[in-house]
């Protein structure tokens, strides 16, 4: 984390709320991923934090990208545009997968000129793409266990494994090349068995597809879910990586390209939020503090990401249990009812670390309160 002295100085210079992005930490997370999983190409899930500066840092480090909307596609494409025209088109597939299985027809029409690599999971999507994106390459997303993940995804996306080869055949019949399979074990997946089961399911589908004459698939996308170290209960990434390396090498020959979609893992620890106490009260005998960012702003991940962020004070002192609220007039705007903080005064600063993923990305302008200013730091 950025040193407190530097955070305080930045807050004095820029005001609060202030969202500070540490690009050294972004690069460190990327290279840790590559060190532990050298066979796996990281496609950063842009939705975790679509800040163009973060995308550029990861692009320059060698990352590829998972996008889920056309605006996200264009953020990444701004970097690809720097390449010579003669290699730009072929490079799209190496750098971008459009991993939202359900796409509007106008989005497909916008994507088609780029000959994109996209995911699908049902027959209706094949029909839409045949009409509006005939130049796309396809990856079939399959349903896998999401047990214990902080954000469950299998109820919304993924073809049943028993339908997988039929969907591959349907796509081929419509004139598409099916490059391979993808899955997602759920976001912040601390139950590593999800990955083991998912890899086994994918290997069985590859085997069945080859028995039925579909032997050209050479891509496996193992999705995201790689957990960020929010607290001590999260096992080190190296533990998960060892399991993945073993299972991937056991189940998939070297000619199968393995990619992944880490989002939270890349950026969660790379940002710190600084807020200021703007109000103070005592309710039912408990101190209550009001700060200048909240659930409708950077703390939106509490609601949308099921993530509880904690606050620390810059000042020292005996800590006591208290409540912390955001600045809006809505009672939903409650950051925490059980924080341990010292006695605070108006104007005191607090900080929340590990808040880089699914936070300011889903912030709103509700009640007219401005979003936190973003400052980028390269140490």
Q: Please give the positions annotated as active site.
A: 329
Are β-strands 312-313 and 286-291 bridged in parallel, bridged antiparallel, or unpaired? Answer: unpaired
Measured at the alpha carbon of residue 324, what is the angle toward residues 321 and 325, in degrees to the nearest 5? 155
Tell me which DSSP letter residue 163 carries.
G
Three-class secondary structure of residue 106 per DSSP: helix
The torsion angles phi and psi of 80, rounded to 5 degrees, stand at: -65, -30
Three-class secondary structure of residue 286 per DSSP: strand
Residue with tokens 């060892």: 242
Q: 327, 369 in Cβ contact below 8 A?
A: yes
Compute the distance between CA of residue 227 and CA of residue 191 in angstroms, rounded to an integer: 10
DSSP string, 265-280: HHHGGGEEEEEEEEEE
Q: Is 110 exposed, middle or buried (0-12, 13-18, 19+ CB in 10 A)?
A: middle
Compute the distance between CA of residue 120 and CA of residue 163 in angstroms, rounded to an integer: 13
CA torsion angle 272 275 281 282 (round to 10): 10
**Alpha helix locations (H) across 134-236?**
164-173, 193-211
């Amino acid at each position: 984390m950025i040193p407190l002295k530097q955070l305080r100085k930045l807050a004095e210079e820029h005001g609060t709320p202030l969202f500070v992005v540490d690009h050294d930490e972004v690069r460190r997370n990327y290279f840790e991923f590559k060190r532990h999983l050298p066979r796996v190409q990281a496609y950063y899930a842009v939705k975790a934090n679509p800040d163009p500066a973060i995308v550029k840092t990861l692009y320059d480090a060698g990352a590829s990208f998972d996008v889920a909307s056309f605006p996200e596609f264009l953020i990444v494409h701004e970097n690809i545009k720097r390449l010579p025209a003669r290699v730009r088109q072929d490079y799209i597939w190496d750098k971008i997968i459009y991993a939202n299985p359900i796409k509007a027809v106008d989005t497909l029409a916008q994507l088609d000129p780029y000959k994109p690599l996209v995911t699908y999971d049902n027959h209706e999507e094949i029909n839409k793409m045949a009409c509006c994106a005939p130049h796309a390459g396809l990856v079939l997303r399959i349903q896998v266990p999401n047990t214990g993940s902080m954000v469950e995804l299998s109820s919304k996306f993924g073809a049943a494994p028993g339908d997988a080869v039929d969907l591959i055949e349907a796509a081929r019949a419509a004139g598409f090349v099916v490059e391979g399979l993808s899955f997602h074990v759920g976001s912040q997946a601390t139950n590593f068995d999800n990955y083991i089961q998912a890899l086994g399911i994918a290997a069985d589908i590859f085997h069945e597809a080859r028995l039925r004459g579909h032997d050209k698939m050479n891509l496996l996308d193992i999705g995201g879910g790689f957990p960020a170290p929010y607290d001590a209960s999260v096992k080190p990434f190296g533990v998960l990586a060892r399991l993945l390396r073993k299972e991937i090498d056991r189940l998939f020959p070297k000619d199968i390209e393995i990619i992944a979609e880490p989002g939270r893992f890349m950026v969660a620890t790379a940002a710190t939020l600084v807020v200021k106490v703007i109000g103070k009260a005592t309710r039912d005998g408990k101190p209550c503090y009001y700060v200048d960012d909240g659930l409708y702003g950077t703390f939106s991940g509490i609601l949308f990401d099921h993530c509880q962020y904690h606050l620390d004070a810059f000042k020292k002192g005996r800590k006591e249990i208290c409540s912390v609220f955001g600045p809006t007039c809505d009672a939903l705007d409650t950051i925490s009812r059980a924080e341990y903080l010292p006695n605070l005064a108006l104007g005191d600063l607090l900080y929340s670390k590990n808040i880089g993923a699914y936070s300011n990305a889903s912030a709103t302008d509700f009640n007219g309160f401005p979003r936190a200013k973003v400052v980028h730091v390269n140490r």
